[in-house]
Amino acid sequence: MPLTIRDPERWHAALYIRLSKEDEGEGESESVSNQRSLLTEFVKENHLIDSIEYIDDGWSGTSFDRPAFRQMLADIEAGRVNLVVTKDLSRLGRDYILTGHYMERWFPEHRVRYISLLDGIDTGVDAAANDLTPFRAIMNDMYAKDISRKIASVKHDKQRRGLFIGGKPVYGYRMHPTEKNRIVVDPPAAEHVRRIFAMALSGMGCREIAAALNAGGVASPAVYAGLPGRGRGLWTGGRVADLLRNQTYTGAMVQGRSRRVSYKSKKCLRQPRERWAVVEGTHEAIVDRETFDAAARLLDSRRRTRRRTYDFLLKGLIVCRECGRPLGVVNRKNGAGEDVLYFVCRTYQRETGEKRCTSHTVKVDAITAAVLAAVGEVCGPYLTPEALRPAAEDVIRQRARKEDAPETLAARRDALTAQLDRVYLDRLGGLLPEADFDRLYRRLREERDALARRLDAREEPREGGEDRAGELARRFAAQALERREVLAALIDRVELGEDRRVTVRFRCRRPESGDRG
């Protein structure tokens, strides 16, 4: 059903447009001009005479710290805007928790109506599409996550084969001049690497080594690589320690030492050593194995222990009812010597002597089970495969339209044609052996022919579309209460009292309110 405005004279519209690099791969359909055209047509059809355009071009949807978005919020608070219109929900944001915060709390509190044209969402009317909005956002997230996993698997396969897939090689190496995914020794920087290992073996600490390098005018790795804005461009103890621990200098390709928190975030976390991709003998070593191991033993002798932290399903959602602070978790042994996690009030933990609060010590598993039971009771009817199937079908349909759009297929076909031309020129120039040329040329041509066939038959529906929608709905329903992002979308907070009673505060309205003990 098309979205309409019955009383256009009372609405002051904000037409919000966002585009980032992550969206550009989805084709022209997500471009600024396309979004502007769709929003402008909506304004004309509904006779909205007062509208302001806000554009965040080049800003990711996973962050809400965008200049135009912030300006729009300021105009809302100033009373200049009371209607926000976007092309679809992902234009407002790709972080489902913050997107839900603005849709269901911030906008209503400021008496702002929100409309998403392609999703059929209109908070100004009581529509069924609004009820499924949280699940639609999370299922969009699940579908995109599947695509991200497939891309990651290709990269991991290259890492396991010892191919370099990073942007810049580690200090001391450079890219091979002719062979892709290969690195070779960079002689000037390699000399400094050998000197650093020699200083470490002589007993100098990392800070002492860094000071000596800075005093000698040795360019830091960032400065040497021409990367601006990296601190003051000096060596530090941390940089030296990272260099001394990098097994790449022994001739082994070491990758996967850090991974992004998620495909929506640029933040990276260090991975444990057992998850690294290490392939021996892929390039020339700068230091021998004995030297590297000796330096590592010296570093290990100076290591300090760190406090352990624990992850749990209700992390960030559960608070102390008495003092309002988030609850922490401690590990204690039971009578059988097994590790058991307990919730504990942070105020009590940190200010025990002042008796500011009580311990609230309860097993994490017991409270989690009570919360999941409450969520299942309230949200169970909405978390069945049958109830979720319409939203799943919408997700599959929208993604299929983007993937099968003629412009997207034609652009990919033309890119493959350009690759074929480059491969052929490399063969003529003697840069590519005959066997590699035959293999690459055959694969690229097959991919291009397959795209051409899809262009010719794009009117035909994709096989298995209904099964994909059913499977997505079934998988989501089966995993919903095991996923922290679902709980965060449904629950505002969980309160644990001194009497060990649990209160679940939902983001949505409940037909009945009550506690769960």
Position 118 confidence tier, pLDDT thresholds 50, 70, 90: confident
Report the amino acid identity of residue 81.
Answer: V
Share of residues in the chain with pLDDT > 70 (%): 81
Position 161 confidence tier, pLDDT thresholds 50, 70, 90: confident
Global pTM reads 0.42
Position 514 confidence tier, pLDDT thresholds 50, 70, 90: very low
Category of 4 on φ-ψ map: left (φ > 0), alpha (ψ -120 to 50) or beta = beta
- Residue 248: per-residue pLDDT: 92
- 63-72, 113-122, 278-287, 340-349: which range is least confident on average? 340-349
Position 486 confidence tier, pLDDT thresholds 50, 70, 90: confident
Q: Is 501 helix (H, G, I), strand (E, B) or coil?
A: coil
Is residue 511's pLDDT more than 60?
no
Is residue 390's pLDDT more than 60?
yes
* Distance separating alpha carbons of residues 449 and 455, to the nearest angstrom: 10
- Residue 354: per-residue pLDDT: 60
**Residue 490: enclosing H or E segment and its boundaries?**
helix 484-490
Question: Could you tell me which residue, 510 or 75, shows the higher pLDDT?
Answer: 75
* Distance separating alpha carbons of residues 224 and 257, to the nearest angstrom: 22
Q: What is the arithmetic mean of pLDDT over 193-222? A: 89
Tell me the pLDDT tens digit for each residue of 460-483: 444 444 467 888 778 887 877 877
Q: What is the arithmetic mean of pLDDT over 195-210? A: 87
* Distance separating alpha carbons of residues 98 and 489, to the nearest angstrom: 9
- Residue 114: per-residue pLDDT: 93
CATH 3.40.50.1390 location in the chain: 8-131
Question: Could you tell me which residue, 342 or 450, shows the higher pLDDT?
Answer: 342
Position 144 confidence tier, pLDDT thresholds 50, 70, 90: low
**Residue 183: enclosing H or E segment and its boundaries?**
strand 183-185
Q: What is the arithmetic mean of pLDDT over 118-146? A: 70
- 242-246, 329-333, 440-444: which range is least confident on average? 440-444
CATH 3.90.1750.20 location in the chain: 162-300
- Residue 506: per-residue pLDDT: 87
Map tokens 């030492």 to a residue.
257
The torsion angles phi and psi of 446, rounded to 5 degrees, stand at -65, -40
Using a 10 angstrom Cβ sphere, with 0-12 exposed, 13-18 middle and 19 or more buried, the burial of residue 9 is exposed
Is residue 306's pLDDT more than 50?
no
Superfamily (CATH) of domain 162-300 = Putative Large Serine Recombinase; Chain B, Domain 2 (3.90.1750.20)
Q: What is the arithmetic mean of pLDDT over 243-258? A: 89
Report the amino acid identity of residue 219.
Answer: A
Handedness of CA 361, 366, 370, 376 (dihedral sign): positive
Class of domain 8-131: alpha beta
Is residue 357's pLDDT more than 70?
yes
- Residue 66: per-residue pLDDT: 93
Question: Could you tell me which residue, 450 or 154, shows the higher pLDDT?
Answer: 450
Is residue 55's pLDDT more than 90?
yes
Tell me the pLDDT tens digit for each residue of 25-50: 454 446 888 899 999 999 999 999 89
Using alpha carbons, select from 504, 334, 475, 482 the residue that is nearest to residue 396.
475
- Residue 513: per-residue pLDDT: 42
